[in-house]
Structure 1
């Protein structure tokens, strides 16, 4: 844990930020691997494919190849289901334990896929979740792929997000892959965030195969399962997350979910701290708890951080500011602003999005003043340019949202 500002004025409520960095090893230590031949527990994959008219051509062929490769990569004992959606929703492969015979059957079904029709995205998502819940494993992944705007069934972003959120509480992770320049990036981010999964944006059809394979690898190679951070905070202190991908399950417990191997997460926590006396020191301790693939409950003690209180009359704005940490908080703040504006525009209106962006911009400028007024102005201009990119073109908007999401969630690139 690292603190953005180690000093604070006495006798006042103050906000301070902790930057928590969690890194997992390239592979799970042998002693902590699952007691199976594969070294991991069985995985249930529910592939949910958009087969609407816009997927015709290279995109549908790449999606089919991605599923074929997933079929070959799944281990015997894993579970596979396949849902497609266009104007209608079809569960073409009911959840089935993978073996040699089923691989051939599944490949034959995939070969026959054709694209055409509208986009019943929410219906496809719900069918995929139902399939994952019908025959669950230790790890359960719904992977939704789409290239277009939902236009059949439930379209409200917030209502769609309730389905993966509910599934998350039942042990199902939902990830989303957006292809090209015409899908709703805010909706797919909402699905991934609420589902505890990951969102990916790819521009070209040839990227579909490596990204589907990459996400399947992320879900199957888990280093820390059900990871949670517990902080020891004073009474009446508050805690706020910068990313909606994680959940605050109580006042001082943050649920990070499953963390893959070879991953670095950067999680920013905003603390609202109650007044303290001049000369006092407020120490904040924490632990990271998780289950290994072997099922062992493990705990890592986090390094403590301390806020030192000085008389309010002697305190100046930049006292105790740790510049590298402030800069990292600012980058996360910028990412949160981009994702928040995109979500507000999709869920409500452009006016609501502009209003939210202004509030966020003022907050960014105020916080950046810890680095000086010149730096604060620079950060504000950068953010305004990023907001402008959200309105410039669909391609620019998707690039900006993807970059912001990757900053917050630590997702990887699988481009070859």
Structure 2
């Protein structure tokens, strides 16, 4: 991947708006917004603890790999690991799926099935704990996203967790994303972008930054086909498994810039009128000024330091899209992925999302209207 020069990050503005002496971008107040025209984001990045730490850590893809290591040891015979010498953390999802799909039951199959069963119990337990939190009370449906559910192992674990919840009389439905999992953290931006970016152009740019992968895409709102933005689609997407390259923070930012520039060039070639906008989905608690309060520990470097401000860094490196100044907004990645399902959650009042990836992302929502179509798109406020 061609890397752009590293920008000099601007120090984020953390004072209250009335106390600021420096000019603030018009969209600065929309970073991390909670109150939108048709839905309220009740919570995200919940940090529920017990004596062993954050409970969400037990239901991540990382946690599943650790459980698989335990079950491999249990199923070993005479010191021989039934799944070979590779660490569970290094096995691909397809490799683990293959062991689950073997025609004849083997110790490897038993190890995977044991890990699935135990992980399903942990996931059900996390959901029950979240459901006791004020921001999750009354949640009727939970959408499961992230990279884990796209595997056979992940799908089976979610189905087993649903059975466990039903047996415990927990009244909540589990659902999968309606679209490709790689698109969720991109599509959600059509509901967060300023209105003119959606209505006056053909498409917007979006980034979804995770602890293992970065996704960059061109998103068409297609609001004329559906005013609730249910017809939005990703027309071009690029994925970078940055964890394999182990980049430093500056190198990761360079990679983001290079991906965006490639999408801009593609749009120009295909005569796609791009809005001068970049939506950034990122782990952690996002302040109104676009800085990160906490929760980005799975990303390289310190994303919470005062002199690092990703929206500003990207706009400095890509100052114009077309002939207009670039605007960038940032929100939590689970929030954005959940909002990709907003048009399809109008039959419930309270709903939530869990994203099972390197970590476990979470967000909960309350619709302002139920059993009706979403109001026409307007920017968050």
TM-score bucket (shorter structure) = under 0.3
In the superposition, the TM-score normalised over structure 2's length comes to: 0.27
In the superposition, the TM-score normalised over structure 1's length comes to: 0.26
| Larger radius of gyration between Structure 1 and Structure 2 | 1
- 1 or 2, which has the higher strand percentage? 1
